Amino acid sequence: MDRGVFTSRAEAENTTLSEALDRYAQEVTPTKKDSTAKRERDRILVFKGLTIARRSLASIQGADIAAFMRSRQLEKIGANAIRLDLALLSHLFNTARTAWGIESLTNPVDLVKGQRPKLPGGRTRRLVDDKQAHLIEAAKVQDSDIGPLITWAIETAMRRGEIAAMRWEHLDRKARVLLIPETKNRTPRRVPLSVAALAVLDGLPRRIDGRVWGMRPDSISQAFERVCEASGIEGLTFHDLRHEATSRLFEKGLNPMQVATITGHKTLQMLKRYIHLRAEDLVGMLG
């Protein structure tokens, strides 16, 4: 204490994980996007129901985190969900140490980095042969915008939520660019539009509320499931269209930075999970 290097452990020992989670939910979670914040609040509620939540922050060690991971795996919780759990815990401990002044804390999640569950490989569903035509044909009998939506998703690689939130005021028809003001990673981006994408918009009626589409994200998925069932295509999801679109951008000859500018991926590692190139389509590029 005389040398000024003593760090008190009192607050870390007197603060339970449950109390820290409550503070995190009040101070940190509200700064995130609404959809992200809701999922995080749900995750916090799960944490607060665990035995470990009654433990003090100072008492939680790497072995406790490893035991938590094993218990989640025994519950058949997916690898990505467990990694999100760990990300929340890690950020909570870092926030407690840096922003809340509990400087004696160490982050136990850092001690199990090599033990985290591995994410499964990305989905590899592609629209081979005439499957896209079958989807569009089956969509014609649906009482919704799902037909044009399918084409739009393949032409733009936009996420389902981004498509549902589209507004006419964000379209620059002359520049052939659509602004997406709010994205999953909270970074606005401008999407260049192909001739086929513009043709989709030109065929749509204008809504009085300014929205381009009259469907919510969950409605889009449900309508797409009905189309897949009607066309006899099994195991395809609307999000697979984003994979298809991303792969097609590479097949057109765009480089990774150009594709990432369109898709909004922040890292090449994440972008790689969306690329499913077919050898047959690369033959012509080899000469």
Query: Do 87 and 174 belong together in one domain?
Result: no
Residue 126 in any domain: the answer is no
Residue 3 in any domain: the answer is no
The amino acid that residue 272 corresponds to is K
Residue 159 in any domain: the answer is yes
Query: Do 88 and 226 belong together in one domain?
Result: no
CATH of the domain at 25: 1.10.150.130
Mean pLDDT along residues 66-80: 89
8 Å CB contact between 29 and 36: no
Residue 225 in any domain: the answer is yes
Please give the pLDDT value at position 264.
Answer: 87
CATH of the domain at 200: 1.10.443.10
pLDDT above 90 (res 156): yes
Residue 286 in any domain: the answer is no
Check the CA dihedral 210-213-214-218 and report its sign. Answer: negative
Please give the pLDDT value at position 5.
Answer: 45
Mean pLDDT along residues 225-240: 88
CA distance 62 to 112: 6
199 contact partners, CB below 8 Å, separation of at least 6:
none
Query: Do 263 and 141 belong together in one domain?
Result: yes
Q: With b meaning 16 or more CB within 10 Å and e meaning fewer, what string describes 132-146? A: eebbbebbeeeebbb
Please give the pLDDT value at position 159.
Answer: 93
Residue 257 in any domain: the answer is yes
CA distance 28 to 31: 6
CA distance 86 to 137: 44
285 contact partners, CB below 8 Å, separation of at least 6:
253
Question: Which residues are catalytic, by number?
Answer: 159, 184, 239, 242, 265, 274
Instruction: Supply the DSSP string of 223-284, one letter for each residue.
Output: HHHHHHHHHT--S--TTHHHHHHHHHHHHTT--HHHHHHHH--SSHHHHHTT----HHHHHH
pLDDT above 60 (res 132): yes
Q: Which residue pairs, CB below 8 angstroms and at least 24 apart, start in 201-210? A: 201/171, 203/148, 204/145, 204/148, 206/168, 210/167, 210/168, 210/169
Determine the structural domain holding residue 78 and report its residue range.
Answer: 10-115
Mean pLDDT across the chain: 86
Query: Do 78 and 161 belong together in one domain?
Result: no
Please give the pLDDT value at position 69.
Answer: 92
Residue 87 in any domain: the answer is yes
More confident residue, 120 or 198: 198
CA distance 141 to 230: 10
Query: Do 137 and 267 belong together in one domain?
Result: yes
Of 87, 115, 143, the position where a domain reaches its end is 115
Mean pLDDT along residues 150-173: 94
Query: Do 136 and 188 belong together in one domain?
Result: yes
Structure tokens at 263: 């898709």
Query: Do 140 and 187 belong together in one domain?
Result: yes
Please give the pLDDT value at position 274.
Answer: 67
pLDDT above 80 (res 154): yes
Mean pLDDT along residues 136-152: 89
The amino acid that residue 160 corresponds to is R
pLDDT band for position 287 (50/70/90)? Answer: low
Mean pLDDT along residues 24-38: 87
Query: Do 107 and 51 belong together in one domain?
Result: yes
Check the CA dihedral 75-83-79-125 and report its sign. Answer: positive
8 Å CB contact between 105 and 59: no
Query: Do 140 and 107 belong together in one domain?
Result: no
Residue 267 in any domain: the answer is yes
Query: Do 81 and 159 belong together in one domain?
Result: no
Query: Do 143 and 262 belong together in one domain?
Result: yes
Of 115, 140, 169, the position where a domain reaches its end is 115
Query: Do 109 and 175 belong together in one domain?
Result: no
Q: How many distinct structural domains can be found in the chain?
A: 2
